Structure 1
Amino acid sequence: MTIKFESKHLGAYFICGTQDIKNENQTIVSVLTEALNAGITAFQFREKGPTSLTGEAKYKLAVTLKKLCKDFNVPFIVDDDVALAKRVGADGIHVGQKDQKVGQVITEVGDQIFVGLSCDTKEQVEEANQLSGLAYIGSGPAFTTQSKADADPVIGPEEIAKLVKLSDYPVVAIGGITEDNVTELAGTGVAGVSVISVIAQSDNINRTVSELKTVKY
Structure 2
Amino acid sequence: MLSALRFCYISDYANPDLLLSAVKGGVLSVQYRDKNSSRSVRYVKARQLKKQLDCFNIPLIINDDVDLAHKINAAGVHLGQADQRPEAARNILGAGKIIGWSIESVAQLKEANRLSCLDYVAASAIFPSRSKADLKTLWGLEGLEKLVALSRHPLIAIGGIDMTNIAAIMSRAVFGAAVISAISNANDPERAARALHERIIGVKHDSNHQ
TM-score, normalised with respect to structure 1: 0.86
Deviations 1:128-163 (A, max 9, x none): 111112111111311111101222221112111111
Paired position in structure 2 for 1:43: 30
Aligned to 1:90: 74
Root-mean-square deviation (CA), in Å? 1.6
Equivalences for residues 116-155 of structure 1 within 5 A: 116-155=100-139
Change (3 A) 1:116 1:108: same
Q: 1:44 aligns to what SS in structure 2? A: strand
Share of identical aligned residues, percent?
33
Q: Following the alignment from structure 1 to structure 2, what is the Cα–Cα distance between the partners of residues 13 and 208? A: 13
**2:20 aligned partner:** 33
Q: TM-score, normalised by structure 2?
A: 0.89
- Whether contact under 8 Å (1:139, 1:172) holds in the other structure is yes
Residues 190-209 of structure 1 correspond to what in structure 2 (within 5 A)?
190-209=174-193
Residue 21 of structure 1 aligns with which residue?
Answer: none
My pick for the range that moved more, 99-108 or 88-97, is: 99-108
5+ residue gaps, structure 2, are 202-210
Q: Structure 1 unaligned runs (5+)?
A: 19-26
Q: Residue in 2 aligned with 1:15?
A: 10
Structure 1 runs, 4 residues or longer, greater than 6 Å off:
none
Q: Aligned equivalents of 1:186 and 1:37: distance in 2? A: 22
Describe the shift of the 1:186–1:109 C-alpha distance in structure 2 as closer, same or farther (beyond 3 A): closer
Q: Could you tell me whether the CA contact under 8 Å between 2:7 and 2:29 is conserved in 1?
A: yes
Cα deviation, 1:23-80, whole Å, max 9, x if unaligned, reads xxxx4211111111111011000011xxx21132221111110011111111101001
Task: State the partner residue of 2:208.
Answer: none
Contact 1:15–1:196 (8 Å) recurs in 2: yes
Matched with 1:63 is 47
CA distance in structure 1 between the aligned counterparts of 2:114 and 2:23, rounded to whole angstroms: 34
Distance (whole Å) between structure 1 residues aligned to residue 40 and residue 98 of structure 2: 24
Counterpart residue number, 2:98: 114
What is the rounded CA distance, in whole Å, between the counterparts of 2:4 and 2:148 in structure 1?
Answer: 16
Q: CA deviation at 1:215?
A: 2.7
2:126 aligns to what SS in structure 1?
coil
CA contact (8 A) 2:25 2:197 kept: no
Matched residue count: 201
> For each residue in 1:74-94, what CA deviation from the matched residue of structure 2 results, as whole angstroms up to 9, or x when unmatched?
110100111111111111100
